[in-house]
Amino acid sequence: MFTRDGASAIKKDIDNTVRFCQALGNPHTKFKSIHVAGTNGKGSTSHLLASVLASAGYKTGLYTSPHLVDFRERIRINGEMIPQENVINFVNRHRVLIEEIQPSFFEVTVAMAFDYFATEQVDVAVIEVGLGGRLDSTNILHPELCLITNIGMDHTDLLGNTLAEIAGEKAGIIKLQVPVVLSERDETIAYVFEQKARQMNAPLRFASTELTVQSCERSGKGLILRIVDNIHHLTKEVYVGLAGRYQQKNILGVLTALDELGERGWAIGEEQLHEGLAHVEQNTGLQGRWQTLSIDPFIICDTGHNEDGIREVMANIQATVHNDLHVVIGAMRDKDLSHMLPQLPKDAVYYFCSPDMPRALPANELKIKAERYGLAGDAYPSVNNALASAKEAYQESDLIFVGGSNFVVADVLKDYK
């Protein structure tokens, strides 16, 4: 499992997925799909799209990874997780095939999702790429639309050491004559996507060129965004039921993708659009994106875990009124912490911890690495021990932030279900 072992668990081709799905009757050809890739924001973007499509009356599948608390979070229809018996029956029914092909955990999960969506006859499924794009198991799809959120430095041991190399892997999801939306235009690597789109004769749109967020205000548990359409010179206001200010980047890609679907005959009304954006968590079960776990003590968690992700988390923390900051943090062994740790504030109190998995960086090692960047705190044997100590030190109007890794957030969420 990649989540447990890291890069050694990755199979760098789609051959196993092709063989597995052929044996299942190619279920991925039996439903329409939207394919979502990117370094950061692809999970939120996938959930936002699925929420709007479900609000518009489409029976909508959603495949994402990793899960935080329950494996079944990865495979949903209209927000409902795949039933336990379906998971068990799929594995038992195809045990001989699994032993013959020897697929990875992720490859089995992708095949399971595609089989479930086909069996349940979804109208459309939003499929999030697991890692990269070109060689990801999900890339056997021929979707209605491809959406790529952004490109940042992450998984460099697998995807490349430059933004251009990583962009090339993400661009690998672009298919012949299938429209593609880029949420952000980065001038240094835009040519990678433009060249690939020309090769595939795929219509290409850069959302951040077409749309601009004029203002972003916190409101309740979400954000009120005022968005300018630079093409038609129109302005509209939307409410997104997610509190992370980084959602203003994701929303541009989502709105452009939905506009592209509308031009291709998909029926998505304004009221349904607003309904879907406002009720993402309720419609899809999304967790761990700038999620408030409690008010007293004030605890927020976020799964951002690479350079760009941590930068966005820090911007959110700065925009959140608080006195002292307590940071419960852990990381994986294969993360390049030299890009992440320098962004963390030196005036916070740190509670270094390690999720219960072999791939996790031991808390003492994380503490030593963090000290080199002026980050002070103690190491704890578990995430829950670290959080308990942060709660003891908490004073009124402080903020406890939990993050650094999906798996740190996952350990905490188990107690907040």
pLDDT digits (tens, 9 = 90+) for 310-351: 988 999 999 999 999 999 999 998 888 998 999 999 999 999
Chain mean pLDDT for the chain = 93
pLDDT for residue 305: 80
Pairing of strands 399-403, 325-329: parallel
Which two tokens mark 331?
Answer: 């990381």
Contact 260, 182 (CB under 8 A): no
The span from the CA of 328 to the CA of 366, in Å, is 12
Q: pLDDT tens, 115-138?
A: 999 999 999 999 999 987 888 999
From the DSSP assignment, how many helices (H) and strands (E) are in the chain?
Answer: 18, 17
Residue 115 CA to residue 113 CA, distance in Å, equals 5
Q: Give residue 1's pLDDT band: very low, low, confident or very high (50, 70, 90).
A: very low
First to last CA, the chain: 25
Of 251, 37, 49, 29, give the one whose Cα is nearest residue 143: 29
pLDDT of 47 > 60? The answer is yes
Whole-angstrom Cα distance, residue 262 to residue 314?
36
pLDDT tens profile 258-281: 999 999 999 999 999 999 999 999
Side-chain-facing half-sphere of 350: CA atoms under 13 Å:
27
Cis geometry, peptide bond prior to residue 358 (ω within 30 degrees of 0): no
CB 327 within 8 A of CB 258: no
Q: For 78-219, list the strands marked E by DSSP.
A: 80-81, 124-128, 145-148, 180-182, 204-206, 211-219
157 pLDDT more than 70: no
**How high is the pLDDT of residue 2?**
43
For 92, counting Cβ atoms within 10 Å of its Cβ (0-12 exposed, 13-18 middle, 19+ buried), the class is exposed
Q: How far apart are CA 417 and CA 20, in angstroms?
A: 34
Q: In the structure encoding, which two tokens stand for residue 21, read together?
A: 């799905």
Q: How confident is the model at residue 12 (pLDDT cuts 50, 70, 90)?
A: low
Q: Do the Cβ atoms of 317 and 326 come closer than 8 Å? A: no
Helix, strand, coil % (nearest 5) of the chain? 45, 20, 35
CA dihedral over 285, 288, 290, 296, signed as positive or negative: positive
Q: What is the pLDDT of residues 340-353, one digit of tens each?
A: 999 999 999 999 99
